[in-house]
Amino acid sequence: MGRTPIAALPESTRRTTADPYGRHRPPPPPPYQFYKKWFPWLVPLIIIVNIVLFISAMYINDCPSHSGKCIGADFLGPFAFQSTRENPLLGPSAATLLEIGALQVGKVVDDHQVWRLLTCMWLHAGAFHLLANMLSLLFVGIRMEQEFGFLRIGLLYVIAGVGGSVSSALFVRTTISVGASGALFGLLGAMLSELLINWTIYEKKMESLTSLIFIIIVNLAVGILPHVDNFAHLGGFVTGFLLGFILLIRPQFSYIKNKTSPYRYSNPSKSKYKTYQYILLVLSLAVLIAGLSTGLTLLLDGVNGNDHCSWCHYLSCVPTPLWSCQARCSSSQFENQLNLTCLDNNRSKFYLLGNHTTTAAIQRMCGELCHGG
């Protein structure tokens, strides 16, 4: 006893819709989701890998075995942090970072350790550095992976990180470099280019563009502070911006509607992409290949970007009355022996001076002493 469910009725008794002429048509299809949503698993995995590598770096560092001044040695044991005077970000020593893969120009150029361009983006200078980068990746990366999938976002993250490393190595010559900032700025750059190349499918275009540009400007402005590698930020951003035109291009709505419509009322010859999308894709691909190839060639040839761009250092640090962009050292000299003491961390070292040692060379020595290079 009871009512028979509608779905169980015989085919002949089911209702169909009729047009004004009495002809029967099948019911309309359910609403179609134009762009597939992906389950985000790669970005959380990247975050976990970065955390595991940081913990491993702290274990390798083993501060209590190599230094008498450690933070948290009583309860952290071998995972204790270096003193804040040596590493204010609460992390390992610069020597440990260099040992496990940090970017250092001399290692890349002289020892041909090109792999450091990739490994440095998976290391972090300290707990604060790791926390800031992983929170940024969580908020930006999850949404992008949901929209575009793990393959495209994974390629974007890694290639943008390498682009940031190449840019950093060309201009930052006296310090080591670690961190995922280049890859993160690559994601920001890709968000901007994705908005531009898919301009016609967005409703609130100018509102989205204005808010995104504001976020990018604020983040890049932080790079003018001392001891921040803005060249990695800029290199990663430009690389990601170009990759966005290549990897994040979307088909037109009209093309998708025609492809999914059961009636095929739309123009069957409708192009999948607009002409301007094809143009931006081809130009970006050409510029990206040329830029990365040229940058890598110049780096391996030992070219110092600062020698060919006298103002480029202002892109990474702008001196103000509140801070100086150069490392500060006190010095004393006896014959050809120079003793430098970094005023930031009180580290000292003796150097043998040659007959043609310049002031710029001494400043580089000071930079290496202060930043652990």
How far apart (Å, rounded) are the C-alpha atoms in residues 246 and 193? 9
Q: Is the pLDDT of residue 118 over 70?
A: yes
The arithmetic mean of pLDDT across residues 114-140, rounded, is 94
Q: Of residues 37 and 137, which shows the higher confidence score?
A: 137
Among candidate residues 124, 129, 233, 371, the one labeled active-site is 233
The 10s digit of each residue's pLDDT in 270-302 is: 678 889 999 999 999 999 999 999 999 999 999
Sequential DSSP letters for 116-150 = HHHHGGG--SSHHHHHHHHHHHHHHHHHHHHHH-H
Q: Is 313 a catalytic residue?
A: no
* DSSP β-bridge partners for residue 332: 339
Q: Is the pLDDT of residue 11 over 70?
A: no
Element containing residue 81 per DSSP (H, E): strand 81-82
Among candidate residues 168, 181, 284, 316, the one labeled active-site is 181
Q: Which amino acid would we find at residue 9?
A: L
Place of tokens 């100086």: 324
pLDDT score recorded for residue 272 = 84
pLDDT score recorded for residue 257 = 67
How confident is the prediction for the chain on average, in pLDDT?
Answer: 82
The arithmetic mean of pLDDT across residues 157-166, rounded, is 97
For residues 102 and 125, the answer to whether their CB atoms sit within 8 Å is no
The 10s digit of each residue's pLDDT in 51-72 is: 999 999 999 999 998 877 899 8
Coil, strand or helix: which one is 351? strand
How far apart (Å, rounded) are the C-alpha atoms in residues 92 and 84? 10
Q: Is 371 a catalytic residue?
A: no
